Amino acid sequence: MDLLWLVPTLPLLGFFALFVAGLFVSEARPLKWFSGIVGAGSVGLAALVALVVGMDFYAQDAEPQWYLLWTWMDVDGFTPSIRLYLDGLSLVMMGVITGVGFLIHLYATGYMWDEGGYSRFFAYMNLFVFAMLMLVLGDNLLVLFLGWEGVGLCSYLLIGFFHAQPENGYAARKAFVVTRVGDTAMLLGLFLLFREVGSIEVQASMAGARELWPEGSTMATLIALLLLGGAVGKSAQLPLQTWLPDAMAGPTPVSALIHAATMVTAGVYLIARTHELFLLSPTAQLAVASVGLATLFIASFTALTQRDIKRVLAYSTMSQIGYMFLALGVGAWSAAIFHLMTHAFFKALLFLASGSVILALHHEQDMFKMGGLWRKLPIPFASMLIGSIALAALPFTSGFYSKDAIVLASFDFEPAGWLFWGGAAFAAFLTALYTTRMMVITFFGKTRIEPHDHSRINMWGTLALLCLLAIGGGWFGLAPVAAVLPDGGLGEADHTSAVALATMAAPFLGIALGWLLFHNRRINVDGLVASPFGDAMRRFWFSGWGFDWVYDRVFVKPFIIVARLNKADVVDFAYRIIAAVTRGLHYVIALTQSGRLRWYAANMAIGLLVAFLIVLDAL
Amino acid sequence: MNILGLILFLLIAGGVAWAAERVNPNAPRWVGLIAFIAAGAYVANAWAGGYAYANQYIEWIPRFGIHVILSMDGLSLMLTALTLFLGAVAVVSSWTETKRRTGFFQFNVLWVMAGVVGVFTALDLFLFFFFWEVMLIPMYFLIAIWGHENKAFAAMKFFLFTQISGLLMLFAILALVYFNYANTGSITFNYNDLLGAELAPDVAFYLMLGFFVAFVVKLPGVPFHTWLPDAHTQAPTAGSVILAGILLKTGAYGLIRFVIPLFPDASAQFANWAMFLGALSILYGGYMAYSQSDFKRLVAYSSVAHMGFVLLGAFAFVDAGGAAGMNPLGMQGAVVTMIAHGFSTAALFMMAGALQERLHTREMSNMGGLWMRAPRMGVMTMFFVVASVGMPGLGNFIGEFLVLLGAFQANVPLTVAAALGVVVAAVYGLVLLQRAFQGEPNPDVPAMRDFGLREMTVMTLMMAALIWIGVYPQPLLDLSAPVIETLWIAP
């Protein structure tokens, strides 16, 4: 049954229906019902079809399959096709996108009910799901790029969804432009790959690369690094990570879907998809691992100091994707995709649960104005608690299995495995620490604002399902990718070695310290922060290690200042000088036309004389 | 297909439109619209029937080897079709805007387009130059009579730039004919006869430069672009639609049809400079677009950036066995960019005109939050901004991607620079959307009418065209592929 094409088509049709309806029908209750049903329904159907496709895939021995739709263009041997490719990796991605995507759509039908632009919201969301599916299903890097840019556009549209506030528009533009810097690198990578290998089809070009280049080849390194440039932009890794915290300006379901579960992991998918290229280049592998580790560190410390609950989660997302990059870099390919999946479960849960809290507090996002909510908002509290223990990777939660696999794999990395392991384990400690801080400040202590729970059944029902996934989503491993990725799937984890025990202990230490610091107050955290050094440190971390500050001064400000100075176009100046000179000459010659007869007579006489002399000279 | 008949039809329709004003001031519009639809239907019918390809040859001034040679191949065909379509768009976009001298207005619109069709089909250099001038004068009138506050200045600037560069081209044409005469002993302006003309390398280089400058002024490429923002800003909406949608393409067409085939060696020798100007136009044009606060000026500068892609792609010669060879990727990209930019920018200028008609301002600081007032206009602006930002799946992306892919084979540093233009495009495109349509609704803005059926029909057609080019550009590529193959005569 060739139903695969239907999976991306359904959300696309949903988008068209909502787009047209939004253009010609004004905002009304029936339109809302229509939008909700079409918006969530199309993704739900896509998820069902994806399930059927998946079962069919295993019925046919899990052989990779192609579905040609049409040849996009044919220019002089460059013939990218709109062709879908299904293997274990794209199957997992498709499942996460449609499955988690459907749950988030369902939640959003309740969450967005009282907001304006209901149909526009679901139109963008459906378009996003379509683009994301094209990204993971395209067998050609150009089709992947189509999805890649498409999700970027939808991310822009949804971050700036409440477009009456200029700061939302700014955040949206920042996200689009910063990721586009990475996209440009990726585009150049495609050009180079095409020039060298003659194809940008994933399977063909990877096979070509393997044949063409030995391990350690400069060309492979160059292309891999250019693709990495695209990946760090989309996945908010160093040095293009600055857009993600601001992207929290979007509605919370958007943060859950795009900026946690799916789009931001596109970079991880890209690297996994082109792993052959990265295997050829130890340099690029090391770069991937280092980027991951550095981001993991910086983001974890930053999360420790945030006040806004969504920003804590944003930095946490950034750091968890750092884990995935680390995994890719150290060669734990399957663990990276595994963590991608479990992270999609628990982070979507955390975002949606925090959305319920925010909604109950009338759009208050500052944790320090919350507190004491655990009795009053039991469902969001329970959901967030489950999400948090999965994020902190306590044993038997989904996050534990995937994160443990990554941390342990980094110990075996050459060179300096102990460094990568130590960093990853320390970051696990930090993760538990900031998660505890978030939970304690939000849900314990004094109640500062009286909440009004607006949860509808479609909202808490979604939370319940995601709770199940956040706990049990990691119990069964990740078999489908074993045939695709070079490490042959997740290995059997040995939980008895000293390294493994230390890894497992790290989150507990974090929770214990967090409890002492923020709940018991056994350690005076306020005094620590109040000291000059502590305060400087806190502000440095709070600002995300000053990246925005630097970029603002190095790129943004000069760009704006020169633009202002040159508004009148310096090139036109040259033409204006020509015009002015011409006008000046005109003025001088016009002076000779004075109307005085004597002046004319004298001129004529002189002219005649000169002419006469010239003629005489010529003779 | 009778090309001469098509041109004469447009010219006569212009006369009829002028005369029709005596009957009713609204009548000329209908004449203009019907003339473009009829001519468009004629071309479309011939295209669909497969008999669009034509060649007409009529003696004109045999003594000097001047003929009326009109020829329609794939490239001419798609550009002619675009011309007639945007002619209709221009008429519709100025439907309610022009209230004075409506007859003469339509006369000028029809005559510009007749001249453009001539430019796209003439294969006699004298005739080409003739049409080049035919399209210039009515355009001057359109700006000078129906323009905005500073129209006299802008019209004169436009006229001088085009006229001086035209003079340069005339000299180059005459010199080319003369040198060919010195070699062969026969005077001819026939393009096909001049194609293989044997010229000393330095002569060929300077003649090439003469044509090149004339066409790059029209394109316009940096540093010859400064007439464009003024002309656009001051022109009436129909004028801007025609200017950006069509007239700029005559410059691009000239580069592809004349400069490269007539002077292949000299072009290849000059290629890196031409590509440099292309990359410079992309970056500088984009940056200047960002600097503007006037809606129309911003879009005008963005045209400089987009047409830079044409320059970059057309001159991306590749190494073919030791000699310079044509680069089909870059060339096809240039052609697709021409067509796609025609739609996307015409739509944005139409939007600018619609805003000015409603708000009596082009200044974006006087707008803001217009989405709330006119959601359909907002959605349409967003679509065409997204298209011109180069979103895959829409026409402009195909053109720009192919250009960059082709240029990468020829010159890596310039391609890298040009690719950064994609980032700049995102910056100015989104800023345009933000300042005009998003943000807090401006309390000073009066209640405004949203797009109605008339505007939505035109916008939807252009939207469909861009989606079609973006999703399945093959018909377009198939049309231009054989032409591109014949452009390059191996030296």
How many residue pairs from chains A and B have C-beta atoms closer than 8 A?
124
Say whether B415 and A188 touch across the interface (CB within 8 A): yes
Judged on CB neighbours under 10 Å (0-12, 13-18, 19+), B42 is middle
Say whether B287 and A563 touch across the interface (CB within 8 A): yes
A295 membership: H or E segment, kind and range: helix A282-303
Q: Taking CA atoms, what residue in B is nearest to A194? A: B405
Residues of A in contact with B419 (CB under 8 A): 184, 187-188
Q: Which residue of B224, B401, B445 to mutate against A (max A Cβ within 10 Å)? A: B401
Say whether B404 and A165 touch across the interface (CB within 8 A): no
- The answer to whether A432 and A509 are in contact (CB under 8 A) is yes
Say whether B405 and A166 touch across the interface (CB within 8 A): no
pLDDT for the residue A26: 65
**What value of ipTM does the predicted structure carry?**
0.91
* Chain A residues 59-98 with a CB less than 8 Å from chain B: 70-76, 78
Say whether A571 and B329 touch across the interface (CB within 8 A): no
Distance from CA of B59 to the nearest CA of A (A): 39
| Domain residue ranges of chain B, discontinuous segments joined by + | 1-262, 264-491
pLDDT tops 70 at residue A1: no
pLDDT for the residue A500: 82
pLDDT in tens, A136-169: 999 999 999 999 999 999 999 999 888 888 888 8
Band of pLDDT at residue B489, cut at 50, 70 and 90:
low
pLDDT for the residue A77: 82
Asked if B427 has any chain A CB less than 8 Å from its own CB, the reply is: yes
Asked if A150 has any chain B CB less than 8 Å from its own CB, the reply is: yes
* Cα–Cα dist A589/A579, whole Å: 15
Q: What is the mean pLDDT of residues A163-183?
A: 90
* Cα–Cα dist A146/A608, whole Å: 77
- The answer to whether B275 and B414 are in contact (CB under 8 A) is yes
Q: Taking CA atoms, what residue in B is nearest to A200? A: B405
Q: Taking CA atoms, what residue in A is nearest to B368? A: A164
* Cα–Cα dist A36/A31, whole Å: 8
**Average pLDDT in chain A:** 88
pTM of the model: 0.92
Q: Which residue of A18, A70, A73, A181 to mutate against B (max B Cβ within 10 Å)? A: A73
Distance from CA of B26 to the nearest CA of A (A): 29
Say whether B329 and A177 touch across the interface (CB within 8 A): no
Q: Taking CA atoms, what residue in A is nearest to B456? A: A23
Q: Which of B342, B361, B369 has the alpha carbon at shortest distance from B434?
A: B369
Asked if A187 has any chain B CB less than 8 Å from its own CB, the reply is: yes
Q: Tell me which amino acid residue B211 is.
A: F
Q: Which two tokens stand for residue A574?
A: 């040259």
Say whether A145 and B372 touch across the interface (CB within 8 A): no
Distance from CA of A173 to the nearest CA of B (A): 7
Q: Taking CA atoms, what residue in B is nearest to A82? A: B471
Q: What is the mean pLDDT of residues A202-218?
A: 89
Q: What is the mean pLDDT of residues B155-184?
A: 91
In DSSP terms, which residues pair with B319 in a beta bridge? B324
pLDDT for the residue B491: 45
- The answer to whether A342 and A474 are in contact (CB under 8 A) is yes
Distance from CA of B467 to the nearest CA of A (A): 12
pLDDT for the residue A94: 93
* Cα–Cα dist A411/A419, whole Å: 8
CA of residue A580 relative to chain centroid, distance: 53
Among the listed ranges A13-22, A110-119, A482-491, B308-317, which one has the minimum average pLDDT value? A482-491
Judged on CB neighbours under 10 Å (0-12, 13-18, 19+), A74 is middle
pLDDT in tens, A221-275: 999 999 999 999 999 998 999 999 999 988 999 999 988 889 999 999 999 999 9
